[in-house]
Amino acid sequence: MVLDAPAASTPLGRGIKHIGIGKYGSKPLTPELLTECRAALIDPTAHPLQRGAFLGALLAKGPTAEERTLEDVIGKGAFSHPTFFINKLCPDLPEGLLPIATKLVRGANLQVSEAEQLGDYLFSDGRCETFRGLAASIMRVRHETNEEYQGLMRAAERTFTPGFGSMSCADRPLVQLAEPFDGVENSYLITPLLAQLVQKRGYGAISLVGRSGGPKFTLNALDLYMNLGCQFLQSNHELDTPLASYGWVLDQKALSPALNRWVDRRHVIIKRPFLATLEKVLNPCHAQILVTSVFHITYQMKMAELAMLAGFDGVIVLKRGLEGSLAPSTSRACGVLCAVRTPRGHLFFQHFEGDSGAFSTFRTETETEYEQPQALDNARLVRQFMVEGKTANADFDNRVRFAHALYGRGLDWIEGQLR
């Protein structure tokens, strides 16, 4: 089903933006929006994904007395009776998923095996789009647990194309670079230059990219690599052929058509679901180290824990990157969390703060913003820096050098721990 209007402008879309923020940021619906959403919930032309995502966010945040009147649209007492609610909302849901669905509606966390079963359905061709929106929204608002991510990760791995199975032909340790797939709106990306740094240190670099699931659509790593004219990785068998400059680039579309299909769903449900995190920590090429970033500082340690679950031995997680990207901020208190898995399977970590004295020469008072940055211009800067070690853009050059110093410190620490 295709929306006739922009997803964020429909009544349910506006409702999702209002109540689907998270545990602590969601607000009650205004009386006017409540009336509009009530009408949309009974409108047969309303998108089922939005219907599910809206109701999932409402239940996860906890409906107010006024919002609770919306249950009459489904059936009297529906919000208090999960099984009745699911049967009414998702009548075509397979019977085997009913216990998992009711558990989600009750606000309970899923076990690994349950999350894996849920993931199998979410990534399948099953008909119930309303349930997909409901499940993704509930888990997002209340925050997914590591056990749920582990189960969803296993399900996602089963969607990989045959070329990305258990075998890796790499002749060196691999470092995977993955930043948010929705990219940036007011800055330039430096990801290929970080990949070049990794290559120079004797690793093979793999940049994991994909279409933007939103909310940003201006410029992302996929756009940049396409404008660099890169050849995308199609199979792990190609890892035995060393590549110069920035290594290999893996497009999510080649890795998993099922995950790629979810990008269109994410445009409809608006708020970032679990996949915005999961797609960065998947390890299809069996890399040793993950380099990634988080927007929320409190998520740094969670990303490190998920990286260990995905099979990485070490991870570098940037906080307060420029617009959430792998490019460090030169004016704010950014930094990296570095972590490794100990022989006993525990997490051992170290923080390196970007505003410490060691990086003072790179610090600036403000950030330079670029209006509507273009992939072609970004590619030109990357090519020039790759060849000459500098460009005519002093801000870009300073940020790349800062990133090299910061990530270099992190890699030094990880290598020392993994000896």
pLDDT tens track for 322-363: 999 999 999 999 999 999 988 887 889 999 999 999 999 999
pLDDT at 204: 95
pLDDT at 1: 61
Percent of the chain with pLDDT over 90: 86
Cβ atoms within 10 Å of 183's Cβ, excluding its own = 25
Place of tokens 């708020």: 271
Using alpha carbons, select from 86, 13, 71, 70 the residue that is nearest to residue 38: 70
What global pTM score does this model have? 0.95
Q: Pick the residue with more confidence: 4 or 167?
A: 167
Cα–Cα distance between 336 and 359 in angstroms, integer?
13
> HSE-up of 232 (CA within 13 Å, CB side)?
18
Q: Mean pLDDT throughout 201-225?
A: 96
Q: Pick the residue with more confidence: 26 or 155?
A: 155
pLDDT digits (tens, 9 = 90+) for 300-332: 999 999 999 999 999 999 999 999 999 999 999
Q: Pick the residue with more confidence: 125 or 375?
A: 375
Q: Mean pLDDT throughout 115-127?
A: 95
Place of tokens 């995502």: 53
Residue 286, pLDDT > 90, answer yes
Residue 371, pLDDT > 70, answer yes
Residue 59, pLDDT > 80, answer yes
Cα–Cα distance between 335 and 321 in angstroms, integer?
8
Cβ atoms within 10 Å of 161's Cβ, excluding its own = 15
pLDDT at 285: 95
pLDDT at 298: 87
Cα–Cα distance between 248 and 280 in angstroms, integer?
16
CB under 8 Å to 343, separation ≥6 — which residues? Answer: none
Contact between 174 and 288 (Cβ < 8 Å): yes
